[in-house]
Structure 1
Amino acid sequence: MAYELIAAKREEMGTGASRRLRHAGKLPAVVYGNGAAESIVLDHNTIFYALKEEAFHSAILDLVIDGQKQAVILRDFQNHPYKQQVLHIDFQRVDLNQKVNVKIQLHFVNADQSEAVKLQGAKISHIINEVEVRALPGDLPKFIEVDLSAIKAGEAVHLSDLKLPAGVEIAALVRGEDAAIALASA
């Protein structure tokens, strides 16, 4: 799914200006990387509902600032502690020909079909729910599927056990770290 976000340059800066924007249903934001940082303003509700979609967090977004389209990825956002409100959001410009590091969600499947659960009465614990990958922006997956059907009681699934799309590598494995993702304990 392609996301296109319409934004405008933000002229007023500071806490008071940001509060006025939020009160008017707008969202202050910043775009950085590959040039100077730009302060922008977006429609709050568009971003609020897009953030609820998992694909939005790992997709290449088309950000249109005053008619100019840029390829960006979501880097960070802040929510209000108790209101349903996004306070601020950060985007990073990306070069479609250079690899980027992005956190991707893990989807655990087939746990109920594993020998550990069906025959050995084990419980499967998810240790990691997202993993940092390095890939070209066009090769980024929406999620990585973790198949738990072959796990046995007392065993763990590690990062090296994941099946990755072509052109995608796990940053921790490049550093030599093979952490456990899921554990079947009796």
Structure 2
Amino acid sequence: MGTRPSIVQTGKAMTIQNVYLLHGKGGSPNGTVSKLAAVLEPLWPQLTFTRPLLPHNDPQTLAERSVDFLEQLQLPQGALLVGISLGGTVAAKLQEMGRDDLHVMAISSPTWADGVVLRERPERRVAIYSSQDEVIAPRTADWPRLAAIARDFSWLNHSTDQHFAPLTRLFGWYLEGTLAEKIGTDPR
């Protein structure tokens, strides 16, 4: 079996082979992230996509439990974690806990939830959100300080299923290493 192609990001050769799609609070691997996987997998067949069931699928479970769960998963070096809502927050927190090798793309995610508060700005963190999203609006103001690439799109809302086309373009730009230069354009 041959080696998989390298994905280049921010001018540095970075091999991304594993993508973890992380659901939001009360969600599951069979919801939005499953639909997103159905869009992404055919476009990037060289990548391995995984959708774990996170503890916060129970809405009564604190975000901290999902961070602990991700830490125990022993994610592969250099994996890309694409988190929807709380999935992005817990992925970003794991990155702050010594996993700066991970790439994190937080989509419609708050910068804090329960006892999980983001404080650092890792090089490999992207935040795509809307400050007008009523679910997370009061918790998005710090994204420009906490993500190497942060973009507030007014059209994005918490109904992620409606936005797969532009999110797929953003995902592709990240894999190509061109997101930083293209993020100013509207991917719709």
So what's the TM-score if we normalise by structure 2?
A: 0.22
So what's the TM-score if we normalise by structure 1?
A: 0.22
More strand by share: 1
More helix by share: 2
Bigger radius of gyration among the two: 1
